[in-house]
Structure 1
Amino acid sequence: MASAHDKAVLQAIFSPTTPFGDIPGLNQEEELTDDDSSFDPVLLKQVKDLELKGISAAEAGDVKTALHHFNQAIQILPSRSSAYNNRAQAKRLQGDTKGAIKDLEQAISLSKDKGRSACQAHVQRGLLLRLACRDEEARADFERAAALGSEFARQQAIILNPYAALCNRMLSEVIGKLRNPEMPDMQ
């Protein structure tokens, strides 16, 4: 069985864009959940059913119906963050980026920046900000989502970190020289 150090070395060789010693999944937190215990169980079930219908409609390409279901879920339990995340995706599919970001900010606020909804909202907002070339804000969202346990967000934060990119490039060059010592310097 390989030690953590051995795994880190192999990770550096086969995936030189990640920092040395950073093994994906090694420190990943357990599955995130939202604390829905404060909601009436009957209303919560109703809202979850509406969200599932909305997700199914969105996956089928019927964004208008999806939005209708998400809006109903929000009307029933306006202080639950999950439906805002889902509605943000539907708004994004419609091209309403500002509306999507507003819903994601609401989801983060309602979740008190904890749990699955906060993690997803930070990832989604980070992606939208990155598409808008607002990389510093996107990196902050990815870092927060990574702290909440998102492996994808951790990778995105590394990609957007200029210092990490420089270190990774240098490490790639070193590994390249170790693989092929005959190779001339690329400077």
Structure 2
Amino acid sequence: MATGRDRAVLQSIFHPDTPFAELSGEEEEEEEEEEGQAEDASDPRLVEEAKRLEIEGVRAAEARNLDGALESFGRAIQLLPERASAYNNRAQAFRLKGDVASALEDLETVLELSRGAGPVARQGFVQRGLIRRLEGREEEARRDFEEAARLGSSFARQQLVRMNPYAALCNQMLSEVMKQLRVRETPREEAGGRG
């Protein structure tokens, strides 16, 4: 498993328009607990090696070495094919490389292995929603963001607001009203400040 810092770096690389670290300490503990339960049946040495390979992949991605990242994530998957987080990380690297079909395939595996629950599924739904939105598949993207939001993603909730045409219209109108109020307030402040 990657460290909190590694996840934050990956988040900033793969999703530059998201908050630097969406995971709070509570969510991180939840993720560690969930992964620990899923790995109870696995050989601890294999788990440690898979985690090391994922961290290696994260560092390669941080250095913009996507081929190296894909290789590390692929080795982690070969070692423990039931470990969803490696597929999630590899999907991000595939997406950055422009291989959307492979990214979507890995995200389907993530959602299947995680059974659509928990932090890894939350991230998988967000990633798939982003890809679908870029492809113009708005309704499918909305469903993915709704699932991610249900699992606690603040980024997915932000995306749902942005996708809501009524919310966008209200935000635009509110922005215009605030701008007009600032324009009206400025002359008064200047006049009051001169006296």
TM-score by length of 2: 0.70
Q: Determine if the alignment matches structure 1 residue 45 to structure 2 residue 16.
A: no
Task: Note the 1:82-97 alignment, pairs <5 A.
Answer: 82-97=85-100
Q: Determine if the alignment matches structure 1 residue 68 to structure 2 residue 64.
A: no
Q: Distance in 2 between matches of 1:178 and 1:103?
A: 49
In structure 2, what residue type is equivalent to 1:134? R
Residue 7 of structure 2 aligns with which residue? none
TM-score by length of 1: 0.72
Between Structure 1 and Structure 2, which shows a larger proportion of helix residues?
2
Task: Specify the SS of the correspondent of 1:113.
Answer: coil
- Displacement of 1:147: 1.2
- Displacement of 1:167: 4.5
Residue 61 of structure 2 aligns with which residue? 58
CA contact (8 A) 1:139 1:161 kept: no
Q: Determine if the alignment matches structure 1 residue 107 to structure 2 residue 110.
A: yes
Aligned residues: 155
- Displacement of 1:163: 3.6
Q: Distance in 2 between matches of 1:135 and 1:49?
A: 37
1:124 counterpart (127, 132, 142): 127
Q: Which runs of 5+ in 2 are unaligned?
A: 1-23, 186-195
Task: Note the 1:126-165 alignment, pairs <5 A.
Answer: 126-165=129-168
- Displacement of 1:64: 1.4
* Higher mean C-alpha deviation, range 92-101 or range 37-46: 37-46
Residue 31 of structure 2 aligns with which residue? 33
- Displacement of 1:30: 3.9
Q: Distance in 1 between matches of 2:47 and 2:62?
A: 22
Higher relative contact order (CA 8 A, sep 6+): 1
- Displacement of 1:29: 10
- Displacement of 1:165: 2.9
Q: Which runs of 5+ in 1 are unaligned?
A: 1-27, 183-187
CA contact (8 A) 1:50 1:72 kept: yes
CA contact (8 A) 1:126 1:142 kept: yes
- Displacement of 1:181: 8.7
Residues 4-52 of structure 1 show CA distances to partners (whole Å, capped at 9, x for unaligned) of xxxxxxxxxxxxxxxxxxxxxxxx9941416222322222111111000
Task: Specify the SS of the correspondent of 2:103.
Answer: helix
Residues 47-101 of structure 1 show CA distances to partners (whole Å, capped at 9, x for unaligned) of 1110000111111122111111111111111111100011011111221011101
